[in-house]
Amino acid sequence: MRYAETGINLEIDLTRGNIEKVATDPRDTELYLGGLGTNTKIMWDRVPPETEPFSPDNLLIFGTGLLCGTPATGCNRTIVSTISPQTELMAFSMMGGFWAPELKYAGYDKIILSGKSPELVYLFVHDDKVEIRDAAHLKGKGAIETAELLKQELNDPKIQVAAIGMAGENRVFYASIEQGRSSASRGGIGAVMGDKGVKAIVVRGTKDINVAPPAEYIELCGEGLDYIKHREGNPIPGVMPILAGLGSPQGMKVHDEKWHTENFMWGNSRERKRDYWNEKIEKEWTETLENARTRLVSCFNCPMECGATISMPGLPTYMMKCFTKLTYTMGAFSDLDFGLRIAQKATEYGVDGFSCPQVMAFALELLENDILTAADFPEMPEDSEGRFFYLLDKIVRREGIGDILADGTHWAAKKIGNGADAYAHNNIKKTEQLPLKLSMLNPVYFLMYATGEKMNITQIEGQFPQAPFATKEEREAFVSDWIQVPDEKFKQILLDWEFRGDNANPYYPTVEMSCDIVDWQETMHYIDDALGQCAGLSSFPLKPPYHIHNYPKFISAGAGIEMDQAKLTQAAKRYRTLVRAVNISRGMRRKDEKPPANHWKKRFPELEEQLLDAYYKLKGWNNDGIPTKESLHELGLDYVSDVFIERGILSDVEDASVENKVEA
């Protein structure tokens, strides 16, 4: 018997219309856990580096986390993996919501899509019944609209639906997959779903998920709930309110947006408005949100209420996650009323709320600077709001200039030429980043930005405070109940960290300390992504209920796999290295690992090189960021080094990188 997982993957070949239920190897669960870990193993095994994102040979994997569907609070994430059209590397965007547990209850751990359907279809999964069905009537429909239509058509409000909107159908490089209150947005996975001709995946399940040993597992879950209660009652003092609690930053609950609006660089990540927030704006925004917000809502089995149902007068109802509240609003330098209206359209179209507003601001900047001309924007309105609505429609339909902008700022700049490159200035690995521009280099953030393969800082950071505490007393109070640290040394690093002087950024935390902090933060995120645990209760906030000391117990008592801290850390390192191996085989190298040139004003090139050198070494990668033969061997990934040697990525005799033949 399999515990926590079902042991069955659904393999769907869309070209031939073939559906198979394939038993998985329990040894893979032990080595790669589930979710992202086992997704990556499948990507490595079956998608060679020559495969293009829109090739029928590209896979689109919907993987549930190992513990999804068990009573572990907040464990509900679907990890979607494919080759991204935007980065041409592996994307592993994720979504919370209700879909992953439902798939588990239907009896499957993953749905693996291959091939391409000649006609637009949707997949129907209800326990043992799995069908590919015609979706011609859903073509062009919104993502939320599609889910509602399917609920009516199938006469079952209990189905869970993951769907794409028009952006996915038209292969917009930052198209999302939407699922009620959640979406998997980064890397253009919605475009791959559209390319495969799949409009939606409907799931409904009524089977059991087993855990063993049950009494221990439920006790762990109970302790988790108690800790959440404790943390909710005791927000962390001395940090800004959005960092004090658990869950996503509570943008749907909290009205005070002074920090985000004034500290981020909005528009095309250009302009910081230092005195933006005032009483009048706060009053207007509060009214707008309170009138629009019908209810705060949660994902499956989680009390956190990070989302909200939003009904703007005259528009269909939708649900919003926290940060989209600001990205359109501030991208257009407008107000929240506009932000909530355009987000309704954007959600139905299914686009990434980080990238899309920035692409639109980028286009307008090119117009202002005469790189694009008025002729590129026929009949575009004069006002900022009207222009954003206009551009959104052009992009999702790939009409006119929208066809170029639909590929994101990196590829659009290349096509436009004429100096447009300089305006695609906020990318890492071809992906638009949070609109932040800061002063002094932060060594920890430098490493996370440079080496992250999740393309999103919020999916890498967490655990270690973003800034030092002002006083000794505050520091001591913070470390006094910091049970989440994997090693006591992290407490000392924090105790000694100052705003100014020798123990301040950029030289403190030291290179070695920075590497350890980043490694810890990244490890926790990768564990979450294999277990299906939302980062909002784990790797993202300070002092979360899930950490390196109780996770091994959850896995032992949930999945029945013997686990301890060392074995879990090693497993996370294994599939984290495998993600890198996939990307290395697709040409990613050290040269790609850099934050935007203007991310910090004060840069330290020598220090930055030292940081990368040391971090690569800690991770077992050579100086070009390629995992070494020795470290691959230690992780049981000899099959990777065999391929690397065969392809000339690693040399047989030494670990220095040799000229890479497959490099793009």
Partner 1 sequence: MTTNKKIKTIKSIKIDIDKCNGCRACEVICSAFHAMPKYSSNNPARSRIRVTREPIRDVYVPVYAGDYVVAECAGRDKYIIDGKEYDECTFCRASCPSRDLFKEPDSGLPLKCDMCEGEDEPLCVKWCMVDALTYEEREEEIIEEEVTPGEVETGLEALVNKHGIDKVADIVAQISKSKG
Residue span binding partner 1 (CB under 8 A) among the ranges 213-221, 280-288, 478-486, 631-639: 213-221
Distances from the Cα of 347 to the Cα of 53, 163, 173, 444, angstroms:
23, 11, 15, 33
Q: Is 215 an interacting residue with respect to partner 1 (CB under 8 A)? A: yes
Distance CA 277, CA 273 (A): 9
Distance CA 18, CA 135 (A): 17
Backbone angles phi, psi at 293, to 5 degrees: -85, 115
Closest distance of CB 289 from partner 1, Å:
16
Q: Is 223 an interacting residue with respect to partner 1 (CB under 8 A)? A: no
Closest distance of CB 288 from partner 1, Å:
18
Distance CA 621, CA 613 (A): 9
Q: Is 10 an interacting residue with respect to partner 1 (CB under 8 A)? A: no
Closest distance of CB 228 from partner 1, Å:
7
DSSP codes of every residue in 105-117 = HHT-SEEEEES--
Q: By C-beta, is 104 or 394 nearer to partner 1?
A: 104
Q: State how far Cα 649 lies from the chain centre.
A: 28
Q: By C-beta, is 301 or 510 nearer to partner 1?
A: 301
Q: Is 225 an interacting residue with respect to partner 1 (CB under 8 A)? A: yes
Among 301, 598, 610, 651, binds partner 1 (CB under 8 A): 301
Q: Is 12 an interacting residue with respect to partner 1 (CB under 8 A)? A: no
Closest distance of CB 481 from partner 1, Å:
21
Q: Are 220 and 554 contacting, i.e. CB atoms less than 8 angstroms apart?
A: yes
Which residues inside 151-170 make contact with partner 1, applying CB under 8 A? 157
Closest distance of CB 160 from partner 1, Å:
11
Q: Is 309 an interacting residue with respect to partner 1 (CB under 8 A)? A: yes
Task: Please tell me the count of residues contacting partner 1 according to CB under 8 A.
Answer: 42
Residue span binding partner 1 (CB under 8 A) among the ranges 161-169, 313-321, 398-406, 455-463: 313-321
Q: Is 214 an interacting residue with respect to partner 1 (CB under 8 A)? A: yes
Q: Is 64 an interacting residue with respect to partner 1 (CB under 8 A)? A: no
Q: By C-beta, is 214 or 235 nearer to partner 1?
A: 214
Q: Is 181 an interacting residue with respect to partner 1 (CB under 8 A)? A: yes
Q: Is 218 an interacting residue with respect to partner 1 (CB under 8 A)? A: yes
* Token pair of 282 as six digits: 């706060």
Q: Is 312 an interacting residue with respect to partner 1 (CB under 8 A)? A: no
Closest distance of CB 297 from partner 1, Å:
6
Q: By C-beta, is 188 or 536 nearer to partner 1?
A: 536
Closest distance of CB 305 from partner 1, Å:
5
Q: Is the Cα torsion angle 392, 398, 404, 406 positive or negative in sign?
A: positive
Distance CA 365, CA 80 (A): 33
End-to-end CA distance of the chain: 45
To the nearest 10 degrees (0 to 180), the angle between helices 214-233 and 551-559 is 150
Closest distance of CB 348 from partner 1, Å:
12
Which residues inside 467-496 make contact with partner 1, applying CB under 8 A? none
Q: Are 506 and 445 contacting, i.e. CB atoms less than 8 angstroms apart?
A: no
Distance CA 413, CA 399 (A): 17
Q: By C-beta, is 228 or 444 nearer to partner 1?
A: 228
Q: Are 65 and 532 contacting, i.e. CB atoms less than 8 angstroms apart?
A: yes
Which residues inside 99-128 make contact with partner 1, applying CB under 8 A? 105
Segments in 384-456 forming alpha helices (H): 384-397, 401-405, 408-416, 443-451
**Per-residue binding letters, 259-298, with partner 1 (x by CB under 8 A):** -----------------------------------xxxxx
Q: State the residue for tokens 């996770």.
A: 551
Closest distance of CB 65 from partner 1, Å:
15
Under DSSP, the state recorded for 212 is B
Among 166, 211, 363, 455, binds partner 1 (CB under 8 A): 211
Reported for 238-245, long-range contacts at CB under 8 A and 24+ positions apart, including other chains, are 238/469, 238/470, 238/474, 238/478, 239/465, 239/542, 243/465, 243/466, 243/541, 243/542, 244/542, 245/541
Q: By C-beta, is 318 or 354 nearer to partner 1?
A: 318
b/e per residue 446-479 (b: at least 16 CB within 10 A): bbbbbbbbbbbbebbbbbbbeebbeeeeebeebb
Q: Is 458 an interacting residue with respect to partner 1 (CB under 8 A)? A: no
Distance CA 494, CA 317 (A): 45
Among 66, 209, 343, 460, binds partner 1 (CB under 8 A): 209
Helix (H, G, I), strand (E, B) or coil at 467: coil
Closest distance of CB 4 from partner 1, Å:
10
Q: By C-beta, is 204 or 580 nearer to partner 1?
A: 204
Closest distance of CB 101 from partner 1, Å:
8
Residues interacting with partner 1, by CB under 8 A? Answer: 69-71, 73, 98, 105, 144, 148, 157, 180-181, 205-212, 214-215, 217-218, 225, 228-229, 294-303, 305, 309, 316-319
